[in-house]
Structure 1
Amino acid sequence: MNKRQLQALETKKRILNVALELFQEKSFSNVTVDEIIEKSQTSKGAFYNHFKSKHDIFFEKFQEVDHYYVQELEPQFHLFNSAEEKLRWFFFKQMEYIEANLGWDVIRTIYEHELNVEADSFFLIPDRPLYQILGKLCDEGKRDGELRRNLSTPEMVNIFARSIRGILYDWGINKGAFSLQNEQRFLFDAVIKGLKK
C-alpha cells in the first residue's frame, strides 16, 4: 500500500470507531453524520467516500466480526478434541466479542435496519465466513458420529444461525439486561443437544 492508501484506510478506521462509540454513547438514531464527521475530524467527502450512510458502518463492522472468526477463532480449533467442543467454544467467544465490541444498542439498531424490506440483509448472505465455519463444524460432527445425519449441513447451519439471531434480538430488546456470555450457554447447550446423534 502506498502512503495515500494507508491514509485513506486510517481515515476509514477513525470514522468507523468514532461512529460506533457515538452509537453506543447516544444510540444510533441520535447520532448524525455531521456529528461523526466533526468528532472524527474528517470531512463529508471523506465520510461518503467510505460509507453510503450510517447504516453502512454496521456492514463494515460485521465484516470485521467475520474477520475475527476467521483470523482469531478458527485457527484455534485444533486445541479441541471434538466438533461439539469447538461449537461450544465458538459460540462463547462469539458472544463475548459481540458484547464487548458492539453492545446491545448497536445490535438493536442493526436489527432495525435488517428488518427494512428495501435493504439487502447482511444476515442472509449465504457465503459469510460465519456460515462457512459452522458448516465445516457440522460436517466434522456428522463425519465423526457426534451429530445427527438425518439433517443436512445447511439445515443445521440454519438452526444455529436462527439461534444466534434469536439471542441477539432478545438481548437488544431487553436493553442488554443479561450477559450474552452467560445466557448463550443455556441456549446453545439445548441446541447442540438437540442436534446430537
Structure 2
Amino acid sequence: MIKKTSRQIQAENTKAHILAVAKELLQHRTFDEISIQDICKKADVSVGAFYHHFENKTGIVVEIYRDIDLFFFNEVLESVTDEEPIEAIILYLVTQCQYALNSGKDLVKNIYKAQIENGNTFFLSKERGLPEGLRRLVLRAIDENKIRRDVPADLLIEELLILARGIIYYWCVSDGNVDMLEYARRMTSNYIRSYQI
C-alpha cells in the first residue's frame, strides 16, 4: 500500500470539510439558495480550493451520492448477506429509505431537485455502489431459486430501485408525514412476492 503524503491527506480533509459544510447548509436552505461563495465562506476556504475539489456546485450532490454508494456497498451489503435472500433484498431497500430518513427531508428534497435539474447520468448509472449491491442480492436470490429465472435480473433491479426512490419521493412530498419504512417493507415485499418461486 502506497503511503499518502501529508499534502494528499490535507487535500482529502479539505474536500471532506467542504462537503460537510455543504451538507449542513443544505439542511436549512435549498440547493438554489446556496452559492459556492456561501459554502466557501462557511468552510473558510477559497473559491479556488472549492474548484480544485469540485467541478461545480452539482459536484457536491454527486459526492454525496458517492458517499451513499460507498456506505451501501461496503457496509449495508455486508450487513444483510447472512439474511435469507428475499429478506436481504427487502432490508437493503428499507435501509435506503432509513438513510433518507436519517438525512432529513430537506436534504433529500434538495438532492432530488439537483438530480432533476442538473442531469442525471451519474445518478442513473448501474455501476454505482448502491445499485451494484442490489444487483448482487438479486442475482443471489435467482441463483438460490428464490426468484424466477425467466425475469431478467436487470429489470428486477431497475424496478426495485424505482420503487425505493418512489417511496422516498412520496415521503418528501408528504412532508415526512408518512411511515416511509413501513411503506418500503410492505411494498418491496409485495413486489418481490410476485416473482418468487
TM-score in terms of structure 2 length? 0.89
The 5 Å alignment of 1:48-127 reads 48-80=51-83, 82-101=84-103, 103-116=104-117, 119-127=119-127
Structure 1 partner of 2:151: 151
Instruction: Provide the aligned length of Structure 1 versus Structure 2.
Output: 194
Please state how far the C-alpha of 1:120 moved relative to its aligned partner.
4.1
Higher share in helix: 1
**Contact 1:114 / 1:122 at 8 angstroms: preserved in 2?**
no
Matched, 1:192 2:195: no
**Contact 1:28 / 1:105 at 8 angstroms: preserved in 2?**
no
Over 4 Å off, 4+ runs? none
The CA distance in 2 between the partners of 1:50 and 1:64, in whole Å, is 15
Please state how far the C-alpha of 1:11 moved relative to its aligned partner.
0.8
Structure 1 partner of 2:138: 138
The 5 Å alignment of 1:159-174 reads 159-174=159-174
Matched, 1:16 2:19: yes
**Contact 2:147 / 2:195 at 8 angstroms: preserved in 1?**
yes
SS of structure 2 residue aligned to 1:163: helix
AA matched with 1:142? I
Please state how far the C-alpha of 1:7 moved relative to its aligned partner.
0.9
The counterpart of 1:36, out of the listed 27, 36, 39, is 39
Computed over aligned residues only, the root mean square deviation of the Cα atoms, in angstroms, reads 1.8
Q: How many percent identity over aligned positions?
A: 27
What are the superposed Cα offsets for residues 172-194 of structure 1, whole Å, 9 maximum, x if unpaired?
Answer: 22232324333312221222222
AA matched with 1:73? V
AA matched with 1:79? D
What are the superposed Cα offsets for residues 93-124 of structure 1, whole Å, 9 maximum, x if unpaired?
Answer: 222122213x22222222223223x7243222
AA matched with 1:143? D
